[in-house]
Amino acid sequence: MKQNIRKIIGQGGNEFAGQDILSVDQFDREKLTYIFSLAAQMRELVERQGGTDLLKGRVLACLFYEPSTRTSSSFIAAMNRLGGTVIPITQGVQFSSVSKGETLPDTVRTLEQYADAIVLRHPKTGAAQIAADYATRPILNAGDGTGEHPTQALLDLFTIQEELGRVDGLHIAMAGDLKYGRTVHSLTRLLLEYDVSLSYVSPEILRLPLDLMNRVREQGVDVRETYNVADVIDSADVLYVTRVQKERFSDLSQYEEIKDFYEITPELMAQAKDEMIIMHPLPRVGEIHYGVDDDPRAAYFRQVRNGMFIRMALLAAVLGSA
Ligand code: NCD
């Protein structure tokens, strides 16, 4: 069993042991390569034998203050396939003591009495950092408001690497809600580790936040913004589509105005390169026509599966030995 752990997480030491995963800023190319190679091993293990008992006896708490299908179930599946177990507070914290007014610091300090790590999704930007300030066990940020969604960005980048064989040299276009979409924020920051050109497609009111755009420009990245997906579809190697984040709007009439501002259709895909991929963190609410799903370039469900391998890799690294 010990040998097995060493074989998987590596002889050279594992810097992630016992660490929080709060932001993509924690990852440089070397760490990304490490996590991606772990994820590839996890895929092999799952495909060969369904899983492993690497984390037998370990417990993960999943604490979700916002709705989730993929992130929560992939963390649960990942932990189960590693032989560990889960305390799932994912079906609405309204049934937990949160509804009695318990604070986030108290909730995480309670859960860590039972669990070895906590996965947290929360509507407030910065909540994962607050939880980490109070908790002694690792916190894994599964989305904090409009801030970050680091595990999603890792699985997004892993998908690009797996599908296209490289990241450097690619033209990556992101479309949709660039203002509120935390997956876009995290993926953008992660891509700054690579030599890529970036395009951002959105209506005026949903443009990428200025501080992030400034960071992209400061790095000297070849970047452009446009309102029209047709401007980028023929040259994109990756088209990363997102949903308009209805829950973040204070004025719902504004949401109604722009919610249907574009749809990726088979006609539009006819203008795209043969060797490109279309991605989406999901859920989609009409941004990609169902007719695109059978196109081999539609990578979004393969992307979902990669999420489980990436989360297995992260859990093994964080909960495995140093
Ligand atoms: C995303 C999220 O929660 O930020 N979903 C996910 O985790 N795959 C994207 C979204 O909700 O639009």
pLDDT in tens, 222-248: 999 999 999 999 999 999 999 999 999
Are 105 and 130 spatial neighbours (Cβ–Cβ below 8 Å)? yes
Would you list the domain boundaries of the chain? 2-148+306-319, 150-304
- Which residue's alpha carbon is at the smallest distance from atom 12 of ligand 1? 243
Band the pLDDT of 216: cuts 50, 70, 90.
very high
Best substitution site from 282, 305, 308, 310 to test ligand 1's pocket, by max atoms within 8 Å of Cβ? 282
Rounded to 10°, the helix 70-81/300-319 angle is 50
- Options 3.60.15.10, 3.40.190.10, 3.40.50.1370, 3.40.1190.10; CATH for 2-148+306-319 is 3.40.50.1370
Which superfamily does CATH assign the domain made up of 150-304 to? Aspartate/ornithine carbamoyltransferase (3.40.50.1370)
Sheet order of strands, 85-89 included: 85-89, 59-64, 117-122, 139-144
| 92-120 per-position pLDDT tens digit | 676 677 777 889 999 999 999 999 999 99
> Can you tell me the mean pLDDT for 267-277?
98
Residues whose CB falls within 8 Å of the CB of residue 2, separated by 6 or more in sequence, listed in order = none
CA of 243, closest atom in ligand 1? 12
Gap between the Cα atoms of 188 and 191, Å rounded = 5
| 2-16 per-position pLDDT tens digit | 445 556 666 556 899
Identical fold at 2-148+306-319 and 150-304? yes
pTM, 2 dp = 0.95
Residue 183 among the catalytic residues:
no
Best substitution site from 24, 62, 71, 180 to test ligand 1's pocket, by max atoms within 8 Å of Cβ? 71
Gap between the Cα atoms of 30 and 35, Å rounded = 9
Mean pLDDT of the chain: 94
